[in-house]
């Protein structure tokens, strides 16, 4: 998922009544990666076995890295009723990124990352972190 920081993200989620709700988040986003696991191959790093066996270091070659892309999603200014509806994202069992309708992507929301911001009852925003499915980076 390579999306421009300013591209709108549309999410849909299963509500408590079994229906689907959706919302388009058009505020700036922040991307990151979480490395989950790595596979390494240990190679002998000795040029001369006789003289460097005791002092020599082994070389490690990365074979495969499993990582997840993370995205901090922020809403634009919304109404009080919209904040209440968006807060229900936190308890939904299914959330999808449907930005590209041909390929919806199931995502996990970090339930502890939800933040609500208000500015003198005029501006209200919500922010949370989403984790996308694993990607595999092969280096060797």
What total of structural domains would you count in the chain?
A: 2
Q: Is 48 domain-assigned?
A: yes
pLDDT of 17-54, one tens digit each? 999 999 999 887 787 766 665 665 555 555 555 555 55
pLDDT tens digits along 85-103: 898 999 999 999 998 878 8
DSSP 102: T
pLDDT score recorded for residue 93: 92
Q: Within a domain: residue 130?
A: no
- Tell me: do 43 and 103 sit in the same domain: no
Query: Two tokens at 58?
Result: 């082994």
pLDDT, averaged across the chain: 79
C-alpha R_g of the chain: 22
Q: What's 113's DSSP letter? A: G
Q: What is the pLDDT of residues 74-88, one digit of tens each?
A: 999 998 889 888 989
Same domain, 19 and 7: yes
The pair of three-digit structure tokens given for residue 140, joined into one six-digit string: 């060797």
CA geometry: angle at 67 spanning 65 and 68, to 5°? 170
The label of the residue with tokens 């809403």 reads 75
Phi and psi based region of residue 103 (left: phi greater than 0; alpha: psi -120 to 50; beta: remaining): beta
Q: Which structural domain range is residue 47 located in? A: 34-69
38 and 100 both lie in a single domain: no
| Residue 134 forms part of a structural domain | no
> DSSP H helical segments within the chain, as ranges?
49-52, 80-87
42 and 105 belong to one structural domain: no
State the Cα–Cα distance between residues 89 and 20, nearest whole angstrom: 11
């Amino acid at each position: 998922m390579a999306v421009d920081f300013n591209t709108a993200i549309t999410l849909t989620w299963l509500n408590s009544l079994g229906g689907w709700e959706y919302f388009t988040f058009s505020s700036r986003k922040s991307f990151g990666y979480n490395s989950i696991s790595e596979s390494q191959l240990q190679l002998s790093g000795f040029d001369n076995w006789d003289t460097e066996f005791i002092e020599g270091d082994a070389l490690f070659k990365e074979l495969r890295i499993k990582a997840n892309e993370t995205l901090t999603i922020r809403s634009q200014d919304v109404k009080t009723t919209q904040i209440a509806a968006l807060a229900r994202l936190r308890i939904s069992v299914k959330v999808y990124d449907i930005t590209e309708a041909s390929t919806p992507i199931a995502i996990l929301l970090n339930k502890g990352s939800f933040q609500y911001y208000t500015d003198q009852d005029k501006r209200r925003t919500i922010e949370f972190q989403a984790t996308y499915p694993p990607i595999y980076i092969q280096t060797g």
